[in-house]
Amino acid sequence: MVVKRGSVTVTIYHTPSHGCGSFTLSYYQDGARKRPAFADLATAKREAEAVAIRLSRTDADVLTLTSADRASYLRARQLADSVGVSLEAAMAQFVEVKRMLGEVPLVHAAEYFLKRNPTQMAPQPVTRVIEEMLIAKKGDGLNGWAEVLQRFGDPEPQCGLPFGIRPRLFIHRRCGRLVETLPALQHDPNRPEDVLKVDADEDGVGGDDAADALRYLVATKARAVSQRKLRGL
C-alpha cells in the first residue's frame, strides 16, 4: 500500500512476525531510510498520512527558492520519477555510492557490473552493485599477478621432485619496456599479495603500465589453446 502526497511516497508493508500482525512504513527522510513498525494497519495508515503531509510541506518550502534552483529541483524530480524512485531516495543512494567510488563515475560501475552478470537478472540495490564491482576489481588484480607469476615457472625443484615448474610465458626481447618494468615491481606494503601501482610522470615517463598490460592479457586470455587447419588458402 502506498500513501503519496506530491512527490513524497510512503509505502506500507505487511510484515508479520512470530504469528503477530505487523505493518512497516518505508520512506526516506534527511537522506536516511526510515522503517517504523506498527501493530495494526489503521495506525500505520494514520502515521503514513502524517509523514507524507509533513514531508510534502518540506517540498513546498523548497519551492520558495530562486527560479534557477526551483528549475533544477523540478528537473531532478522529473528524472527520479522517470525511474520510479523518489528524489530523496535517489540522492541518498547517490551520496552513499559516491563515498564508495570516489572519482569513479557511477555509470562505469554499472557497466562493469552488467558485463559480469547475465542480462536477465533480479533487480539489485545500487550499493550492492558497487560493492560487487569493487570486490571483483580487487580480485582481478590479485588473481592476475598470481597467474603471471605461475606462468613464469620456477626452476627450483617442487614438492620433492627433481625438477621445477616449466615456464609457459615468454617475453620477446623487443618488449624492452616490459623487460625493464618487471624487475622493478614492488609489493604493496598495505597488501603484500598485490603489486604497488606506479604511475608515469606528466611526460609519460616511467610507471608500470607495461606490466599492467601483461597482467590484463594473462587474466583475460583463455587458458585453452586450439589449433585449426585453414583450407583454401
Task: List, for residues 79-129, the tens digit of each pLDDT value.
Answer: 888 888 888 888 888 888 888 777 778 887 777 777 766 555 566 666 666
Task: Pull the grid cell for residue 54.
Answer: 509533513
C-alpha cell at 169: 610465458
∠ Cα 125 129 135 (to 5°): 140
- The Cα–Cα gap between 109 and 101 comes to 8
pLDDT at 63: 47
**Helix H or strand E segment including 12:** strand 8-14
Closest by CA position to 196, among listed 133, 137, 145: 145
**Whole-angstrom distance, CA of residue 163 vs CA of residue 157:** 4
**pLDDT level of residue 35 (50, 70, 90 thresholds):** confident
Q: Which residue has the cell 583450407?
A: 231
CA 176, chain centre distance (Å): 36
What digits encode the pLDDT tens for the residues 160-173? Answer: 555 567 888 888 88
Buried b (16+ CB within 10 A) or exposed e, 85-111: bbbbbbebbeeebeeeeeebebeebee
- Tell me the residue type at 90: A
Q: What is the DSSP letter of 165?
A: B
Q: Are strands 37-38 and 8-14 parallel, antiparallel or unpaired?
A: unpaired
Q: For residue 32, what pLDDT is reported?
A: 76
Number of helical (H) and strand (E) elements in the chain, helices listed first? 7, 7
β-strands 191-195, 37-38 pairing:
unpaired
pLDDT single digits (tens) 180-227: 888 888 877 776 667 778 887 777 778 888 888 888 787 766 555 555
Residue type, 5: R
pLDDT, position 7: 74
Phi and psi at residue 174, to the nearest 5°? -75, -15
Q: Would you give the DSSP letter of residue 159?
A: T
Instruction: Tell me the whole-structure pTM to 2 decimals.
Output: 0.34
pLDDT tens, 41-66?
889 899 888 888 887 776 555 545 66
* CA-CA-CA-CA dihedral for 169, 210, 176, 226, to nearest 10: 30
Domain residue limits, the chain: 2-94, 104-233
